[in-house]
């Protein structure tokens, strides 16, 4: 057997959307590819695959991360949330998703999963009431269609509702 690392798989354990997973991966594989290809979480989109556009943003241990630059092996023991986790059930959208629809916060939808995950982080972190803070935190998520105002409106609406509960 060759000692070539490319031919060796590594066992990785993590929790994805509340479910414990153990998978075997090539150590060079990006977390984005593993989530999409091995776990069929295709709500996660891939854009630039260089960590610049934010389309593949997920939450790792509650913090935003671009999954295209995160190796799957780096997620060992972590709690990962993807856009699929935002829905309250398989038939009902989550609050943030409903707010995006209400405020017209997407057009083509390509950037939406990454923007939603950043929005989830913003709301959970308690920074969603300050429009300028929301704008700054969204600066790593590129949207070519909406102009961001509707996205900010949707996030602020959920954050305000969240704070009042």
| Per-residue pLDDT at 7 | 63
- Over pLDDT 70: what percentage of the chain? 93
| pLDDT for res 15 | 98
pLDDT computed for residue 161 by the predictor: 86
Where exactly are the structural domains of the chain?
A: 8-85, 88-163
Residues of the chain with confidence (pLDDT) below 50: 1
Which pLDDT value is given to residue 159?
A: 96
Q: Give the pLDDT confidence score for residue 4 in this predicted structure.
A: 58
Q: What is the pLDDT of residue 1?
A: 47
- What is the spatial order of strands in the sheet that 79-81 belongs to? 19-25, 10-16, 79-81, 57-60, 63-66
Q: Which CATH architecture best describes the domain 8-85?
A: Roll (3.10)
Among 122, 146, 147, residue whose Cα is nearest residue 136: 122
Architecture of domain 88-163: Orthogonal Bundle (1.10)
């Amino acid at each position: 057997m060759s000692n070539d690392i490319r031919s060796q798989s590594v066992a990785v354990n993590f929790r994805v959307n509340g479910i414990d997973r153990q998978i075997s991966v090539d150590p060079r594989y990006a977390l984005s590819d593993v989530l999409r290809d091995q776990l069929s979480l295709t709500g996660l989109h891939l854009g630039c695959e260089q960590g610049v556009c934010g389309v593949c943003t997920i939450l790792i241990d509650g913090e935003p991360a671009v999954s295209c630059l995160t190796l799957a092996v780096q997620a060992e023991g972590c709690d990962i949330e993807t856009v699929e986790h935002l829905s309250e059930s398989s038939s009902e959208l989550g609050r943030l998703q409903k707010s995006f629809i209400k405020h017209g916060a997407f057009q083509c939808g390509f950037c939406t999963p990454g923007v939603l995950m950043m929005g989830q982080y913003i709301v959970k972190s308690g920074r969603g009431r300050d429009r300028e803070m929301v704008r700054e935190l969204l600066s790593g998520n590129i949207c070519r269609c909406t102009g961001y105002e509707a996205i900010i409106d949707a996030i602020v609406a959920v954050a305000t509702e969240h704070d009042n509960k």
